[in-house]
Structure 1
Amino acid sequence: MWHKLALFGGCIFLAIAVFGSIRAYSAKIKDVDLSKTTPIVLVHGTHGTANSFNGMISRITETYGKSTDKVIVLVKKDGTLEYQGTLSNKSKNPFIQVVFENNDAPIDQEAAWVATVIKDIQKKYNVTQYNAIGHSNGGLALTTYAEKLADDSAPIMEKLVVIGTPFNDLDGDDNAATTDFTDVANRTTELQQYIDDSTNLDAKLQVLSIAGDLDNNAVSDGVVPVQSALSSRLIFAGNVANYSEEVVTGANAQHSDLHENTTVDGIVADFIY
């Protein structure tokens, strides 16, 4: 009988210890309250990694001094999340970098993962609003999320920056070499879908689209045609509170270098802050 009581008492003690640690962990998570600041969510392009935005984050943090701290949210292939790094109540406009373990997934899948991350940072950090930056297909994932998956219960995307994002795909035949256009040479099915869904966008959203132009001839950044990147105007202009564009030229405007370009840093910082 005594052994049974001792065992029972030990179970109670273990349960209290485990429950207490869970409560302590939950309290620690809830102590991180970002509701009074605006985090910056970053989404890399195809084949991107945790290194994709590291340089930009460091340069903007050091140069402009309006953000502190960063955390990486790794989205595993099964959709589960792993947080790397820590934030605190003292974090100011922290960077939250979304990294896909499967970095070559379809855009709709990436958008669904973005939705999972946004809901999770709302729960963990009490995020109420945020700004977002997407490079290449990361811009497509964020746009797809904004048009199709964001709902009234989610934190508000206040500002969106898309960098070298191929809204009208990559074919030069579909994209004329000009920045002065009211329509692209030929609308792809994907672009038309973005246009059709654009009425779902938050009317208060502010959007900046950055295109790269290697030779200052309105052709491309070496991968994405300038007109494809700027076809964002057909999606956002007139459907959001503010839409603006920037074209960055020169050798450092190559597609994979756009988020390593200090000119782009300045344009992004001026917009998000």
Structure 2
Amino acid sequence: MRKKIILSVTTLICIILLVIGGAVLWMRHRTIPETADRSNSIPTLYVHGWGAGARSTNSMIHYAEQYNDAKKVLTATISPEGKVSFSGYWPASAKRPLIQVISVDNKYYNYKVTQKWFGNVLQKLQKDYHIKRYNTVSHSMGNLTTMYYQVTNGQNKQLPALQKQVNIAGHFDGIVGIDDKPNQNLLQKNGAPKIQDSNFKYLNNHRQGYPKKQVDVLNIFGNLQDGSNSDGDVTVVSAKSLKYLLRDRYKDYQELEISGKKGQHSQLHENTRVDRAIGKFLWQK
């Protein structure tokens, strides 16, 4: 009889634990219904680079949560077909909401397509949460995706408006080992790179689509100080060519060069100096 009681109690405890565990899991992944209104919020979207995922933006998000009173509210996952799904919970009390954007097909680099995927994220945020404004923090390939989106849709007043744009290790005019070489290029007196790759030419030809005098820009790039004048993948010239692309378009433009080993391409998103600069730029007046 005693054994039966013990067995029954044990079974009951297991059931309770399973119910609690299920409830916690549901809480973590539930999303607010489509009627949720977050139109007064300005979410910051973190966009990773080529071959990357959550790991490349996790530390930046964690730093913002720990030191900038920010909160990750959603993960936006983009399928290989460009379909977007949200997981997480966006409470109305979130002062500085953060959204991590993850592309399942993380090596796809047709920016005319990936910009549409990014646009799908924004349109779903607009539909489900009624957002009107947003910021971006992009690393490497993510910079080209968001830039292609801006020159395509930046003048569309029916879509959410970009407020602040953080670019990290952006290859706006070539990648070392693919279509660029260390110390091959230079910025001319007018700021334009002497050698211009296909992406730079496309963005330059469509730059009038970028929102005018609306966006504050922080351009962060690395220099290993090893003679290559690059972060190992992106030259300083390629990164700094962004200023010329956005000439007469940006509201404010700032640059931050990270020198030495911490300026390596992938180390730039694991750098507390970068984290501090992003926090100050996005949220401190």
Q: Give your verdict on TM over 0.5.
A: yes
Out of 85, 93, 98, the position equivalent to 1:90 is: 93
Q: Which of 162, 166, 171 is 2:167 aligned to?
A: 162
RMSD across aligned C-alpha pairs, in angstroms? 2.1
The equivalent position to 1:80 in structure 2, one of 79, 83, 97, is 83
Equivalent in the alignment of 1:102: 105
Relative distance call for 1:61 and 1:79 in structure 2 (3 A) is same
- Aligned equivalents of 1:213 and 1:31: distance in 2? 47
1:264 paired to 2:274: yes
5 Å-filtered alignment, 1:144-163, equals: 144-150=148-154, 151-163=156-168
Q: How does 1:68-217 map to 2 (within 5 A)?
A: 68-105=71-108, 106-150=110-154, 151-170=156-175, 171-172=180-181, 175-176=184-185, 182-203=191-212, 204-215=214-225
Query: What is the total number of aligned residue pairs between the two structures?
Result: 246
* 1:175/1:185 contact within 8 Å kept: no
TM-score, normalised with respect to structure 1: 0.84
**In structure 2, do the counterparts of structure 1 residues 29 and 187 end up closer, same or farther at CA, with 3 Å as the change threshold?**
same
Distance 1:118 1:175 in 2: 38
Structure 2 unmatched runs, 5+: 1-30
Q: Check the 8 A contact 1:174/1:188 in 2, yes or no.
A: no
Contact 2:45 2:100 in 1 (8 A): yes
Task: Work out the CA distance in 2 between the residues paired with 1:149 and 1:78.
Answer: 20
Q: Which moved more, 1:31-40 or 1:160-169?
A: 31-40
Q: In structure 2, give the amino acid aligned to 1:129.
A: R
Deviation for aligned residue 1:50: 1.7
Change in 2 beyond 3 A, CA 1:179/1:38: farther
Cα gap change, 1:180 to 1:137, in 2 (>3 Å): farther
Partner of 2:16: none
> How far apart are 1:238 and its partner, in Å?
1.6
**Cα pair 1:161 1:210 within 8 Å, conserved:** yes
Query: How far does residue 70 in structure 1 lie from its aligned partner after superposition?
Result: 2.8
Q: Deviations over 1:2-58 (max 9, x none)?
A: xxxxxxxxxxxxxxxxxxxxxxxxx95145322112100111111111222011100
User: What is the CA–CA distance in structure 2 between the aligned matches of 1:180 and 1:161, rounded to whole Å?
Assistant: 25
Indicate whether 1:63 and 2:67 are aligned: yes
Contact 2:186/2:195 (<8 A) preserved: no
Any runs of at least 4 consecutive aligned residues in structure 1 with deviations exceeding 2 A, and if so which?
30-33, 173-183
Whether 1:36 aligns to 2:45 is no
Q: SS in structure 2 opposite 1:54?
A: helix
Deviation at 1:69, TM superposition (A): 3.0
Do residues 254 (structure 1) and 257 (structure 2) align? Answer: no
Distance in 1 (alpha carbons) for counterparts of 2:248 and 2:232: 29
For residues 95 and 179 of structure 1, the distance between their equivalents in structure 2, rounded to whole angstroms, comes to: 38
Structural mapping, 1:13-52, within 5 Å: 28-52=32-56
CA contact (8 A) 2:47 2:142 kept: yes
Alignment-mate amino acid for residue 230 of structure 1: K
What SS class does the counterpart of residue 196 from structure 2 fall into?
coil
CA distance in structure 1 between the aligned counterparts of 2:32 and 2:140, rounded to whole angstroms:
36
Q: Distance in 2 between matches of 1:226 and 1:213?
A: 7
3-state DSSP of counterpart to 1:266 = helix
Return the alpha-carbon distance in structure 2 between the equivalents of residues 268 and 50 of structure 1.
18
Matched-pair identity in % = 26
TM-score after normalising by structure 2? 0.81
